[in-house]
């Protein structure tokens, strides 16, 4: 059960005096508004308080003259009853909330005040989190507004039940081309999502196959509606990925040309039909003209034509389109070194800035390639100034250990969010762009590929729950530090034993660096097994068509992406960054091989040569994994058997993987360079 319950354990509070203190406030719930979302808040509080304090609160729907937790939206009645300051609450946005302790005739009470009912639910989860963390709740004055408007998760679930890039079992939504109707599990998932503030969800793979194309037909829409109902009571809007060629695939047209009036009419009718089943349907996610998916290119049209077609159909209903910018030539000729996949998204979309309708949002992966352990930030951020956009992360660890290896991604995401694009001079960070404060986008925010499945613990590796939790917390408040997020997660998940807290925190916080140490070096990426993307295969993608090369030979390694004599990619950045990347002297070590082809004897800023750096980090990476595993073993008596064994198994697999990476990488570069390890360690 504890594996299943993730960070909503609601374990009983050990500190007796705290329990007494909490009980004084938490014995009564006063609920001053009604909605399905507020019911969810009530249910969660009842469940959480009972479980942590051993007492079910009484419920009343009128103000009570006693200590209580008061749930209210910000309206005239609450203002009058509780003397809330109008000015104070004016700063709340639609998903924002206030938590305020106040005295009630000698007793303490807590007001959970939302601008809307969603705020109340978020506030309830916040209060429960404080209690689970044993914090004082008698002197609270908290104002919370999410930093990002759209806080989304994308599922890559197929109706067959498998999940593209899923590492945690099968889909919770589908099985054997049917819906699972696993209402309890889906509801628990909704609880986890909303407890970290997620408000949007797409429930099928961006690669929409024939079966999933039918999700927008009368036959399947009632089932989608059932799922949407569950998420709705947790403040989450449901979206579907659609096949761009739907008018052909499920309609009876022979074209999907966005400028064809029949195609336009088809989509308008289709959308109207969807809204009959799901009145607050969110809209569509579209992967078009990418990796063999159909798109407007077939008809000689561009991405704005394609996206606007769907935007126009959704507009009357308030729906939106997420149009993905992951567009590149996956059939390129590796011998043509001028074709650089890294340049593709910018080349396709920059020129269309300003041409998209108001309800179209471009969805941009964090880096120019594909969720590698290390990539520069996509140069589209800051370049698109008149186009709604969301940033896309991957919580699923496709290239970062597949939830066998530990890789806590919050530190990586923070680097991306804090990156300064210089689009308006200093201070034009990615986070200020995607949160809509830099440019006046109508829609903006962050989305990510889900890492959950129907495994008992949801994420395969129990420690990978931290990525799910951390993603939600970080995009709610991008100012939180990785340390704060990790510490919250560890305490909520494993309790407050200081040894456990300290050890698990350290494991999480170092894990990204450790993974990078034993895998592909210095930002070059890939070197991974083609297809499934786990484990090393240094030349696995070197001579194929995917645009993922490192160009290693006996003289050197790395991709020359300079403007001077390379692919020109570095020129896609604003000058401040372009200059840094362009020059060997200033290019940061960790991205050196992404931007430059260098001899193995090239010296890094650290003073090491590239080849020695490769040897050193790979030996170090394996030692670090051994060390993590040994430290985990020390925690045996402090963690329940299921979770202890689950993580131990994963560390065992990670160690094997790390050793294989180390040996293959070191051997490969030793044989190619002929340069021995200065420290004379064994390299075959
Ligand atoms: C890559 C995955 C592939 C996805 C693609 C995408 O390998 O399975 O379909 O991204 O984002 O990372 O569309």
d(CA 524, CA 342): 12
d(CA 529, CA 523): 17
Q: What are the mean pLDDT values of the chain's consecutive 10-residue runs (684 residues total)?
A: 96 93 93 96 98 94 88 81 75 93 83 95 98 94 96 98 98 98 98 98 97 97 98 98 98 98 98 98 97 95 98 98 94 74 96 98 98 98 98 98 98 98 98 97 97 98 98 98 98 97 98 98 97 97 92 96 96 98 97 98 97 98 98 98 98 98 98 96 86
pLDDT of residue 338: 66
Answer yes or no: is the C-beta of 287 below 6 A from any ligand 1 atom.
Answer: yes
In this structure, what token pair is assigned to residue 452?
């959950």
389-478-503 Cα angle (round to 5): 135
d(CA 5, CA 459): 12
Ligand 1, atom 10, lies closest to the CA of 370
Answer yes or no: is the C-beta of 164 below 6 A from any ligand 1 atom.
Answer: yes
Ligand 1 center–CA 394 separation, angstroms: 10
Mutate to test the pocket of ligand 1, among 164, 288, 531, 544 (most ligand atoms within 8 A of CB): 164
Strand, helix or coil at 665?
Answer: helix
Answer yes or no: is the C-beta of 206 below 6 A from any ligand 1 atom.
Answer: yes
pLDDT of residue 86: 66
Ligand 1, atom 11, lies closest to the CA of 326
Strand locations in 253-412 (E): 283-286, 320-324, 360-365, 389-394
The pTM for the full model equals 0.97
Answer yes or no: is the C-beta of 615 below 6 A from any ligand 1 atom.
Answer: no
Q: What's the DSSP call for residue 172?
A: S
What ipTM, to 2 d.p.? 0.98
Ligand 1 center–CA 88 separation, angstroms: 45
> How many CB atoms sit inside 10 A of residue 375's CB?
21
CA-based nearest residue to 664, from 574, 202, 351, 672 = 672
Answer yes or no: is the C-beta of 95 below 6 A from any ligand 1 atom.
Answer: no
Ligand 1 center–CA 549 separation, angstroms: 17
Ligand 1 center–CA 238 separation, angstroms: 21
């Amino acid at each position: 059960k504890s594996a299943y319950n993730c960070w909503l354990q609601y374990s009983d509070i050990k500190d007796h005096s705290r329990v007494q203190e909490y009980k004084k406030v938490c014995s009564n719930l006063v609920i001053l508004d009604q909605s399905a979302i507020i019911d969810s808040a009530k249910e969660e509080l009842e469940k959480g308080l009972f479980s942590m304090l051993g007492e079910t609160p009484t419920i009343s729907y009128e103000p009570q003259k006693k200590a209580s937790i008061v749930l209210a939206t910000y309206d005239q009645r609450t203002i009058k009853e509780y003397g809330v300051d109008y000015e104070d609450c004016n700063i709340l946005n639609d998903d924002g909330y206030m938590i305020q302790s106040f005295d009630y005739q000698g007793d303490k009470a807590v007001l959970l005040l939302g601008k809307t009912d969603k705020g109340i639910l978020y506030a309830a989860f916040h209060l429960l989190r404080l209690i689970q963390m044993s914090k004082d709740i008698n002197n609270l004055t908290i104002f919370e507004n999410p930093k990002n408007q759209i806080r989304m998760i994308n599922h890559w679930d197929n109706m067959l039940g498998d999940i593209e890039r899923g590492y945690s079992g099968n889909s919770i939504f589908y099985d054997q081309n049917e819906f699972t109707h696993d209402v309890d599990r889906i509801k628990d998932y909704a609880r986890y999502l909303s407890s970290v503030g997620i408000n949007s969800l797409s429930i099928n793979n961006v690669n929409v196959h024939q079966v999933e194309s039918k999700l927008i037909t009368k036959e399947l829409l009632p089932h989608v509606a059932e799922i949407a109902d569950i998420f709705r009571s947790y403040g989450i809007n449901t979206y579907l990925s659609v096949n761009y060629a739907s008018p052909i695939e499920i309609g009876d047209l022979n074209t999907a040309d966005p400028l064809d009036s029949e195609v336009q009419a088809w989509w308008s009718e289709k959308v109207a039909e969807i809204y009959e089943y799901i009145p607050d349907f969110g809209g569509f996610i579209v992967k078009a003209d990418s990796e063999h998916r159909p798109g407007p290119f077939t008809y000689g049209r561009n991405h704005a034509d394609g996206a606007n077609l769907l935007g126009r159909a959704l507009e009357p209903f308030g729906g939106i389109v997420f149009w993905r910018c992951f567009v590149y030539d996956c059939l390129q000729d590796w011998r043509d070194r001028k074709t650089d996949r890294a340049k593709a998204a910018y080349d396709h979309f920059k020129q269309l800035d300003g041409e998209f309708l108001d309800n179209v949002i471009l969805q941009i992966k964090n880096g120019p390639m594909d969720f590698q352990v290390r990539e520069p930030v996509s140069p589209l951020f800051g370049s698109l100034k008149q186009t709604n956009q969301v940033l896309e992360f991957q919580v699923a660890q496709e290239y970062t250990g597949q939830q066998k290896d530990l890789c806590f991604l919050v530190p990586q995401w923070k680097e991306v969010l804090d990156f300064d694009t210089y689009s308006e001079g200093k201070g034009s960070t990615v986070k200020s762009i995607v949160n809509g404060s830099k440019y006046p986008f109508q829609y903006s925010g962050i989305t990510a590929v889900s890492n959950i499945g129907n495994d008992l613990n949801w994420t395969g590796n129990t420690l990978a729950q931290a990525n799910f939790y951390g993603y939600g917390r970080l995009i709610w408040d991008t100012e939180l530090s990785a340390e704060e997020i990790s510490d919250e997660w560890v305490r909520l998940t494993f309790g407050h034993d200081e040894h456990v807290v300290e050890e698990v925190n350290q494991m999480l916080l170092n894990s990204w660096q450790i993974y990078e140490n034993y895998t592909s070096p210095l930002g070059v990426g890939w070197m991974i097994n083609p297809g499934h993307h786990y484990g090393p295969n240094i030349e696995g993608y070197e001579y194929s068509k995917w645009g993922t090369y490192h160009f290693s030979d006996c003289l050197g390694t790395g991709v020359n992406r300079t403007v001077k004599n390379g692919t020109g990619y570095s020129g896609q950045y604003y000058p401040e960054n372009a200059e840094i990347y362009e020059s060997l002297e200033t290019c940061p070590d960790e991205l050196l091989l992404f931007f430059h082809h260098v001899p193995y004897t090239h010296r890094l800023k650290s003073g090491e040569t590239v080849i020695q750096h490769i040897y050193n980090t790979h030996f170090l990476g394996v030692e670090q994994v051994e060390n993590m595993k040994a430290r985990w073993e020390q925690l045996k008596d402090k963690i329940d058997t299921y979770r202890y064994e689950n993580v131990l198994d994963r560390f065992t697999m990670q160690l094997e993987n790390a050793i294989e990476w180390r040996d293959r990488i070191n051997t490969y570069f030793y044989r190619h360079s002929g340069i021995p390890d200065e420290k004379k360690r064994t390299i075959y």
